[in-house]
Amino acid sequence: MGHYTIQQVHRIASSKTRSLPSFSLTRNPWARLFSAYRFAIAGRGTGGTVTAGIRHPKRYQKKEFGTFDSFIFDWLRKRNINKLDGVFRLQSNYVCDNKGRVMVDHLGRLEDLDTTYIWLAKYLGASLEFPHSNRSGTEVNYREHYNSETARIVGDIYAEDVERFRYKF
């Protein structure tokens, strides 16, 4: 299905659909970028039940993607992230309007799904269970793949998300 911005959803959804409660999840920008890098070089998700692919897989088979450091130094920091595949764009673009206002009723964190489950259960009046799908393979600690310089660069590139959603490395 893909990822759509809240503005795109509002353009195509009926007024009845737009009146329903909405939610979205954010993810720590450093963890998200490492996961997106792995997803891009694999060309698709590598686990779970969802078959999701990157839009331009051959783009990510170049030498700049040989290591996570070279990806950051030689590719990412030279790009306008708002013109890249969605997995590399600011999360703010997906949940905020043009004035930077969050446009969903509940904004949860991937790192704290229980809070969103509670919100959904309260709204729906039922307990919920969600399978974890579209995993990118073996779970890893994203911090192990950064050094102080790459962490700073990524923090600068994704500063809007870091500040808006109050994330720390």
Residue 108 lies in a domain: yes
What is the pTM for the complete model shown?
Answer: 0.85
Supply the DSSP symbol for 108. E
Query: Residue 1: what pLDDT?
Result: 44
Percent of the chain's residues with pLDDT above 70: 85
Q: Is the pLDDT of residue 114 over 70?
A: yes
Residue 130 corresponds to which tokens in the numbers above?
Answer: 């969600």
Span 137-153, average pLDDT: 90
Residue 46 lies in a domain: yes
Residue 133's pLDDT band, with cuts at 50, 70 and 90, is: low
Q: Is the pLDDT of residue 149 over 90?
A: yes
Range of lowest pLDDT (47-61, 68-82, 96-110, 134-148): 47-61
Residue 1 lies in a domain: no
Q: Is the pLDDT of residue 138 over 70?
A: no
Residue 155 lies in a domain: yes
Q: How far is CA 79 from CA 25, 38, 57, 103, in A?
A: 25, 18, 17, 27
Give buried/exposed letters for 81-95 (b at 16+ CB in 10 A, else e).
beebbebbbbbbbbb
Burial-class residue 7 by CB neighbours within 10 Å (0-12, 13-18, 19+).
middle
Residue 72 lies in a domain: yes
Query: Residue 75: what pLDDT?
Result: 96
Residue 85 lies in a domain: yes
Range(s) of the domain holding residue 81: 6-164
- Residues with Cβ < 8 Å from 87, sequence gap 6 or more? 36, 39, 40, 54
Q: Each residue of 37-85: pLDDT tens digit?
A: 998 998 765 554 445 567 777 888 899 999 999 999 999 999 999 999 8
Residue 169 lies in a domain: no
Residue 73 corresponds to which tokens in the numbers above?
Answer: 């130094």
C-alpha–C-alpha distance, residues 4 and 97, integer Å = 13
Amino acid making up residue 15: S
Counting the structural domains of the chain, the total is 1
Query: Residue 108: what pLDDT?
Result: 97
